[in-house]
Amino acid sequence: MVFLILVVSSFVPPLIYMVWLRNSERFSKEPMSQVLKVFVWGAIFGVIIASILSLAVHYILDSFVDRVYLFGWDRDFFITLLLVMIVAPIIEEAAKGVGVFTAHDEITEAEDGLVYGASAGLGFAATENLLYGILAFSMGGLEVSLFLIGLRSVSSALLHASASSVMGYGIGRSIVSNGRYKVLPFYLVAVLMHGTFNFIASMQEMFEGEILGISFAFIALVIAIVFAVSAITIVRLKIMKIDMEPGRI
C-alpha cells in the first residue's frame, strides 16, 4: 500500500503537467498515445541510460580526482559538485532527448518537439520522484517521503520538463526544416538550464548561515521553485505562440 501511494504521488503530478502542455496546442494536438509513449520512454529507458552513464562517470571521477588539486575542497564534496552541476545535466538531457526521436514520425511542427521533449522530461522526473521518495521513506517515513515528492513535483519535475522541451524544440526544428537547424545549440541551452537549477538547489550545501534572518536553505528552495515555474511557463507560452503562427515552423 505504501509503495502504491508513492507511485501515485510520484507519477500523477507529472502526468497532469504532460496533459496540460499537450493541450496547449489548439491545432493538430499530438496523439495522446504517442505523448504517453515518450513519457514512458523517459520514465524507464531515459532513467536507465542516465543511471548507467552517471555511474560510469562517477567511477572515472573517483579515480581521477585524487590526481588534481582540489583548492582545499573536501574530496567527496568536489565529486558531488561535478556530478550534480556538470555531469548530470549533460547526461540526463542527452538521455531524455533520445526519447524525443522515438516520436520522429509524429513531429510535423516545431512545437511538437516542445511537447514531446517535455513529456520525456516529465517521465524521467516521475521515476526520479519515486526513487527519491523510496529513499526518503526508508530514512524518515511516509510523511517525509510525500513532502519530498511534493517539493520535487513543483521544482525539479518542472525543470526536467522545461529543459528537455528546449532540446525537443531543437529536434523538432531540425526535423521540420530537413536539417537546416542544428540540435546542438538547443541541447547546450537545456544543459545550461539544468546545471543552473542544480546549482541553485545545491546552494544550501555550498553556503551556510542566514540572510536577513532567513535560512539559506529556504531561500535556495524558493529560488529553485521560481526558476522551474518560470521556465515551464515560458515553454507553454512558446507552444501556444508557435501554434498560432502561419506555417508553424
Q: What tens digit of pLDDT does each residue of 232-246 get?
A: 999 999 888 887 775
Gap between the Cα atoms of 142 and 133, Å rounded: 9
Indicate the number of domains in the chain.
Answer: 1
pLDDT at site 71: 56
pLDDT at site 46: 95
Helices (H), ranges, 26-66: 32-41, 47-64
Give the Cβ contact number of residue 184 at 10 Å: 9
pLDDT at site 7: 95
Q: Is 66 inside a domain boundary?
A: yes
Gap between the Cα atoms of 237 and 80, Å rounded: 35
> Above 90 in pLDDT, residue 169?
yes
Q: What is the mean pLDDT of residues 126-155?
A: 94
Q: What is the mean pLDDT of the chain?
A: 87
**For residue 151, what are the domain limits?**
2-244
Q: Is 46 inside a domain boundary?
A: yes
Q: Is 209 inside a domain boundary?
A: yes
Gap between the Cα atoms of 104 and 102, Å rounded: 6
User: Per the confidence metrics, is the pTM higher than 0.75?
Assistant: yes
Q: Is 249 inside a domain boundary?
A: no
Supply 166's cell numbers.
528546449
pLDDT at site 83: 82
Q: Is 166 inside a domain boundary?
A: yes
Q: Is 40 inside a domain boundary?
A: yes
Q: Is 71 inside a domain boundary?
A: yes
Q: Is 104 inside a domain boundary?
A: yes
Q: What is the mean pLDDT of residues 182-208?
A: 85
